[in-house]
Amino acid sequence: MTKHALPITRADNFPDWYQEVIKGADMAENSGVRGCMVIKPWGYGMWERIQRLLDDKIKATGHENCYFPLFIPLDLFEKEAKHIEGFAKEMAVVTHHRLEEKDGKLQLAGELETPLVVRPTSETVISEAFSRWISSYRDLPVKINQWANVVRWEMRTRMFLRTAEFLWQEGHTAHETREEAEEETLQMLHVYRELAEDELCMPVILGRKSPGERFPGAVETYTFEAMMQDGKALQAGTSHYLGETFARAADIRFNGRDGEMHYAHSTSWGTTTRLVGALIMTHGDDDGMRVPPRIAPHQIVFIPMMKDESKVDEIIAYCKELKTQLEAQTFAGEKIRAHVDMPKGETRGRYWDWVRKGAPIICEVGPRDLENGTLAMAQRHLIHEKKRIVSTADLLDNIQALLGGYEKALWEQATTFRDNNIHTGIQTFDQLKAHFENNENPGFVKAKWCEDEATEDMLKEFKVTIRCLPLEQSGTEGKCVLTGKPATVDAIFAKSY
């Protein structure tokens, strides 16, 4: 029971454990480029699943995909003063467009007149397009999305959580009225919630950001925050109501129903490959990754046992037949994804490889199973129980229930952990400080806040931030945990990624 597939447990050292999960599951690795990672098939497969599921939701809510340039001319950034303040610091800048060989060395040549910024986000360039596309209320709303790579030159990077280059989707919309834009902002927040809850098995708290945590240029930023197993918060994505900020900077004006010119109200919303990191820290255990079934590139893996060489072909055929039959069934509205782990050279340890990868169901098939019509099955969340010998008929009859049971278990474990670690009894600043300074796993503190922007700085001392003001408010009256003043708003305080 105490033997685990990873060399480090969560309790030993959570950040090191995180790296070991990624390595053990072969999800990604550091590249030779500072702060950039190579996303390997098992990690990228999860992102592809997230993409597919989220893209369907984005389209179902009336958005269309586009693609905008990677580069943004420097002078376009200067137009948007507020936006600059937030992003000016760390961006990759292209200054040359040619290399010339000289004595076997490459030299920079072709200096650009206007340097090009590698997009850290695309509000500026998309707003410029919107200003071309929109001239009348009849052109509104415009609702688009793009899947793209973006670059922010982060000093301290960690795979999936914070990398210089990352993959994301960014939605951008423009509307006739404030009300419509705010409705859009919240609609997309709920789309993200659905993804998190239904597909990532990850409970999240939806809320507004405090002013200090808002996106540069936004009037209101909404977030969905998840709790990682070390009690830190992870901002899993955001949805911004941008007001007229970008419309004024880029001159997105339209002739309104009243015959007057108006600025459009815009929104943007995004989520990233960081979600893969969130999955690790929500569902991983001391044996490695555990992938939610709707995200798993393979939901069930068959491992042919290779000891008896004379039986190998027959075992493989048996597994392939099972794969075919399973794939004729669906789970959560999609064809089941089964995989036969074809032996390639080294054949030992494959069972534990799939444990570390976190495939939901792992089956070993040996010569005796051929005779008996059976297999040895493990569910990833129950691997320390004895492997069950099940008949293939049972497997085929129960695959939905097996995947569903595993999914439910992940959801319940994550929700229980999260709920057990939201602390509501903290009343004063001293208590708050002591809580975060004295607890290794401090979780979230839910307390009242007076909404005075200046008070957010008080939290810096112990590296805590207001994660959000939850959409679900208790409505009770109390005292601000920072100032002691009367306050009604509930806020979530936490350390964060």
**Least spacing, CB of residue 148 vs its own copies, in Å:** 8
Residue whose CB is less far from its own copies, 229 or 299? 299
Residue whose CB is less far from its own copies, 3 or 344? 344
Tell me how far apart the alpha carbons of residues 358 and 341 are, in angstroms, rounded to a whole number.
Answer: 14
Residue whose CB is less far from its own copies, 41 or 373? 41
CA–centroid distance for 263 within its chain: 33
**Least spacing, CB of residue 308 vs its own copies, in Å:** 20
The count of other CB atoms within 10 Å of the CB of residue 121 is 21
Tell me how far apart the alpha carbons of residues 295 and 302 are, in angstroms, rounded to a whole number.
Answer: 18
Residue whose CB is less far from its own copies, 34 or 463? 34
Q: C-alpha dihedral over 238, 241, 244, 248, to 10 degrees? A: 10
Tell me how far apart the alpha carbons of residues 173 and 270 are, in angstroms, rounded to a whole number.
Answer: 12
Residue whose CB is less far from its own copies, 91 or 471? 91
Residue whose CB is less far from its own copies, 77 or 406? 77
Q: Between β-strands 261-263 and 253-255, what pairing exists: parallel, antiparallel or unpaired?
A: antiparallel
Residue whose CB is less far from its own copies, 64 or 251? 64
Phi, psi angles (nearest 5°) of residue 53: -70, -45
Tell me how far apart the alpha carbons of residues 261 and 174 are, in angstroms, rounded to a whole number.
Answer: 15
Residue that has been written with the tokens 């950040």 in this structure: 15
Decide: 209 and 177 in contact? Cβ < 8 Å.
no
**Least spacing, CB of residue 344 vs its own copies, in Å:** 6
**Least spacing, CB of residue 192 vs its own copies, in Å:** 21
139, 220, 244 from 183: Cα distances, Å:
18, 12, 15
Decide: 199 and 193 in contact? Cβ < 8 Å.
no
473: helix, strand or coil: coil
Tell me how far apart the alpha carbons of residues 272 and 472 are, in angstroms, rounded to a whole number.
Answer: 25
Residue whose CB is less far from its own copies, 20 or 225? 20
**Least spacing, CB of residue 139 vs its own copies, in Å:** 7
**Least spacing, CB of residue 69 vs its own copies, in Å:** 4
**Least spacing, CB of residue 25 vs its own copies, in Å:** 14
Q: Which helix (H) or strand (E) holds 24?
A: helix 14-24
**Least spacing, CB of residue 168 vs its own copies, in Å:** 12
